[in-house]
Structure 1
Amino acid sequence: MPRLIALLLMALAAPTASAGDARPDLARIRGKIQFVTSFPDYKVKIVESFADLHVKVVESFPDDAGEWQMVESFPDYKIQIVESFPDFTIRYVESFPGVR
C-alpha cells in the first residue's frame, strides 16, 4: 500500500504537457476543411514565406498531406484564420503541398 501511494504521488508531481505545448501533426491535416469564426480545431495564420504547411486547394480527393477541399458542412477539420497566436502557419501553393 505505501508503494502505491508513493507511485501515485510521483505521478501527480510529474510535469504534464498542456494542450498549448503540443504541436499538431501537420501531415495528418488534410481532407475536408471548413473555415469557422469560433470553436475551431486549429487556429491558422496565412503567410507568404516560411510556412509550416504548404496547402493546395483541390476540388476532390484530398488524400495527401496539405491537400484541402473546402466544404460548408461535415468537415474533417475546422480552421479559424487568425493574425496572432496561431497553432501553425500555412501558405497556399499550386504544387508540392505538404509539411515544410
Structure 2
Amino acid sequence: MPHFPSTPFTPDDPNPSWWVKVVGMLQQNWALPVLLAGKPVLLFVGDDAGIFDRIDFDDMRTLRDALVNNGFVEFAHDPSLQDFLAPPAFPLSIGKHPNGFIYSSGRFWR
C-alpha cells in the first residue's frame, strides 16, 4: 500500500505542475509531481482533492516520461482542457479510488 503525505497537504511549489488524463465522460485523473523528503513522487488525485495513489521515482525526468507514456498531459500546456477542466483545489486530503491503487499496482501503469 502506498504511503501518502500527511494531510492536509499543499506542495511547497506555489505553482505546481498538474497533469491530467481524461478517462471517461466527465471523469479524469490528476497527477501532481512533488518532492517529498527530496525524492520525486507522483501523487494521483481525484477531482475531490483526495490523494488516491502514489508512485516514487529516482528522478524528475523519468517521472515526466512515465506521465507522457501513460497518457497524461500537462494541464498548463493544453488550452483546450483549460476551457472545461479545473485542477483539484488545495489542500489535498487522503482519498480513495473505487478501483483501489490503480497506478501503483501496475494495472493501469506501464
Q: Same fold (TM over 0.5)?
A: no
Question: When the two structures are superposed, what TM-score results if normalisation uses the length of structure 1?
Answer: 0.26
> TM-score scaled to structure 2, two decimals?
0.25
Q: Which has the higher contact order (CA 8 A, sep 6+)?
A: 1
Which structure would you say has the larger Rg? 1
